[in-house]
Amino acid sequence: MKKNKKLIILLASLLLLAGCGSKTSNQPAKSTTTNESTKNTGENAFPTFEANDFEGNAVDNSLFSKNAVTVVNFWFNGCDPCVEELPKLNALNEKLKKKGAELIGINVEAGNGETVLKESKKILEKQGATYRNLYFSNKSSLLEYSSKLEGFPTTFLIDRNGNIVGDPILGSIDDEDSLKKVNQRIDEIIAKDKTK
Amino acid sequence: MDKKSKISAIRHFFQKRNTIQAIATMLTNIHLPNFLKGTIYKGNLKTVCVPGLNCYSCPGATGSCPIGAFQAVVGSSKFQFSYYITGILIFFGVILGRFICGFLCPFGWFQDLLYKIPFKKLSTKKLKPLRYLKYVILVVMVCLLPVLVTNSLGMGRPFFCKYICPQGVLEGAIPLSLASSNVRSALGNLFAFKGIILTVVIVISILFYRPFCKWFCPLGAFYSLFNKVSLLHYRVDENKCKSCGKCAKTCKMDVDIIKSSTHPECIRCGECIKACPTNAISVQWKLEKMKKEGNKHEKE
């Protein structure tokens, strides 16, 4: 009996250990740097950042102001599901362009040197992804931000003011269902943008 | 230490197996607050593998899973083989053999606990051929498929982790999805499929003793190859043995230690040591043996 009791306590503690739910937000910590032109320090603001696109042009948060929605997809070269979804994302971007929206990729490892950047470009080319992609240096706020992401790929929907709208999408957007949901969310943000 | 007190110390150690397994599981998953946060530790220690089967994606995980890490490396487009992880595995195997399964593996402990649930218990003696399945899983799912089945960019998938490993669901997907709504919304058919695998493993672990270790675990399969050479090993003193057969009867891994003290299925759980009425079975370090033999030679 004593043995059974011990066992029940053990099992219960194991279940608790595995089952502790929490309301803690899992959104990555917001960056605190505010020395750049777009000073959006709101609750859901995408971190203030400086990066480069794959052509070498400097890019910062001002890119969000050009579109009603910017879809930001975090990925890296060795991530199989990220690479697999690139063609789907490219097709999505073609549709978005007509709506006044844009999809950009942020490769979290392409800033590690010319070789990695070249490999990233090769992957994009092979997968037929022509949309804009960014890389960042070790000093960028995006380094810490991306290291706190729950997994890859993670995709954010960002409005004209640089705010993250809704929850980030964890995992690939590769089936009809998830694509439909994302499109719906994008349309809602565009509709809101028009009423302003 | 004289011989008698050494034997009682060894017996005492094996009686504490449950506690040692609990401590090992704790140390393997040291970052407990991460269970509440729903995040994974990604620091420097993650470049090192733990000895047991313990998912990298467990919020508490201290290090990487050797089986997961191996597949991640061989599956990448840059490598065909992982010398680093194979080296770590050989190191663990040469020192401890399947003692790791018996004492250090969190999933082994999980199955031990499930088997303690009072319910009908079935023998696995007639299911011995299933033991070979774990070697097939090791070769096909862990070594071959991640290298051979690749996309156009030469990238493979961690087949065992992705499609089989129940420890990944138990330690990774379940706690992470409970703590994070983002992870929850990412769950799909694969999670359902692996949830079924985990459920089946749980149910059969209540009925049979350690079915996953016996039939499916690629890590156990790997370590089993080292039972013959591992520094930690069992020895049967033929002068003391009365051939009463109590050791074979008590062994839940279906091993007859008298026939083979280095049997690949032996997880060094020590049940036979406890059962032996004449203290004929003992644990030894090969180094000790070598030292003794060396001393003998010197004297001669």
Confidence of residue A165 (pLDDT cuts 50, 70, 90): very high
User: What would the pLDDT profile of A82-131 be if each residue is shown by its tens digit?
Assistant: 999 999 999 999 999 998 899 999 999 999 989 999 999 999 999 999 99
Residue B139 lies in a domain: yes
Task: List the single residue in A19, A26, A127 with the smallest CB-CB distance to B39.
Answer: A26
Tell me how many domains chain B contains: 2
* pLDDT of res. A13: 44
Q: In this predicted structure, what is the pLDDT of residue A30?
A: 37
Tell me the chain B residues in contact with residue A83 when contact means C-beta distances shorter than 8 Å: 151, 153, 155
Looking at B224, B243, B276, the residue that finishes a domain is B224
Does B119 share its domain with B53? Answer: yes
Mean pLDDT of chain B: 92
Q: What is the pLDDT of residues B75-101, one digit of tens each?
A: 887 787 889 999 999 999 999 999 999
Instruction: Return the pLDDT at B77.
Output: 78
Q: Mark whether B157 and B56 lie in a shared domain.
A: yes
pLDDT at A23 over 80: no
| B256: in domain | yes
Q: Residue A9: its pLDDT value, please?
A: 47
Model confidence at B298: pLDDT above 90: no
**What is the reported pLDDT for B204?**
97
- Report if residue B15 sits inside a domain: no
Per-residue pLDDT averaged across B14-32, rounded?
A: 94
pLDDT in tens, B122-136: 999 999 999 999 999
Of B164, B196, B224, the position where a domain reaches its end is B224
B113 CB neighbours in chain A (<8 A) are 7, 10-11, 14
Examine the pLDDT at B2 and tell me if it is beyond 90: no
* Contact yes or no for A24 and B38 at CB 8 A: yes
In a shared domain, residues B156 and B244? no
Tell me the domains of chain A and their CATH numbers. 45-171 (3.40.30.10)
pLDDT at B260 over 60: yes
Whether the per-residue pLDDT at A31 is higher than 80: the answer is no
Whether B176 has a pLDDT exceeding 80, the answer reads yes
Residue A91 backbone class (left: φ over 0; alpha: ψ -120 to 50; beta: rest): alpha
Question: Do B86 and B182 share a structural domain?
Answer: yes
Please check the confidence at residue B289 and state whether its pLDDT lies above 80. Answer: no
Domain boundary at B173, B205, B224, which?
A: B224
For a pLDDT cut of 90, what percent of chain B falls above it?
Answer: 79
Interface with A, mutate which of B73, B180, B183, B190 (most A CBs under 10 A): B180
Predicted local distance difference test score (pLDDT) of residue A154: 95
Option in B35, B75, B186 nearest A170 (CB): B186
CATH number at residue B248: 3.30.70.20
Q: pLDDT at residue B175 above 60? A: yes
Helix (H, G, I), strand (E, B) or coil at A50: strand
In a domain, residue B2? The reply is: no
Candidate from B28-37, B156-165, B285-294 with smallest mean pLDDT: B285-294
Contact between residue B110 and residue B182 where contact means Cβ atoms under 8 Å apart: no
> Residue B295 has what pLDDT?
64
Contact B35 A147 (CB under 8 A): no
Q: Reply yes or no on whether the pLDDT at A38 is more than 80.
A: no
Q: B30 and B104 in one domain? A: yes
Whether residue B245 is found in the same domain as residue B177:
no
| B39 shares a domain with B155 | yes
Contact A123 B153 (CB under 8 A): yes
Whether residues B153 and B117 share a domain: the answer is: yes
Which residues in chain B are closer than 8 Å to A126, comparing Cβ atoms? 152-153
Determine, yes or no, domain membership for B161: yes
pLDDT band at A12 (very low <50, low <70, confident <90, very high): very low
Based on the domain organization, do B72 and B132 belong to the same domain? yes
A176-185 confidence digits (pLDDT tens):
888 999 999 9
Q: Is residue B13 part of a domain?
A: no
Per-residue pLDDT, A35: 42
Q: Which of B182, B183, B198, B202 to mutate to test the interface with A (most CBs of A within 10 A)?
A: B182
- Is the pLDDT at B140 greater than 90? The verdict is yes
Q: Which domain holds residue B139?
A: 20-224
Q: Across the interface, do A4 and B118 touch by the CB < 8 Å criterion? A: yes
Percent of chain B with pLDDT over 70: 95
Report CB contact under 8 Å: B182, A26. Answer: yes
Give the percent of chain A with pLDDT over 70.
Answer: 78
Average pLDDT over residues A136-164: 92
Average pLDDT over residues B146-155: 87
**B264 shares a domain with B198:** no
**ipTM > 0.90 (yes/no):** no
Residue A110 pLDDT: 93
Average pLDDT of chain A, as a whole number: 81
The answer to whether residue A8 scores a pLDDT higher than 70 is no
Stretch B155-171: mean pLDDT? 95
Does B114 share its domain with B201?
A: yes
Number of residues assigned to chain A: 196
| C-alpha B95: how far from chain center | 14
Q: Does B186 touch chain A (CB under 8 A)?
A: yes
Q: Which residue has the higher pLDDT, A173 or B80?
A: A173
- Chain segment B226-250, per-residue pLDDT in tens: 999 999 999 999 999 999 999 999 9
- Which chain B residues touch A21 with a CB distance below 8 Å? 178-179
Verify that B132 and B30 share a domain, yes or no.
yes
DSSP string across chain B:
--HHHHHHHHHHHHHTHHHHHHHHHHHHT--THHHHHT----SGGGGSB-SS---TTSTT-SSB-HHHHHHHHHHSTT-S--HHHHHHHHHHHHHHTTHIIIII-HHHHHHHHHHTSSS-----GGGGGGGGHHHHIIIIIIIIHHHHSB-TTS-B--HHHHHT-HHHIIIIIHHHHHH-HHHHHH--HHHHHHHHHHHHHHHHHHHSSSHIIIII-HHHHHHHTTTTT-SEEEEE-TTT-----HHHHH-TT---TTT-TT-TT-----HHHHH-TT--EEEEEHHHHHHHHHHHHHH-
Asked whether residue B4 is assigned to any structural domain, the reply reads no
B254 lies in a domain?
A: yes
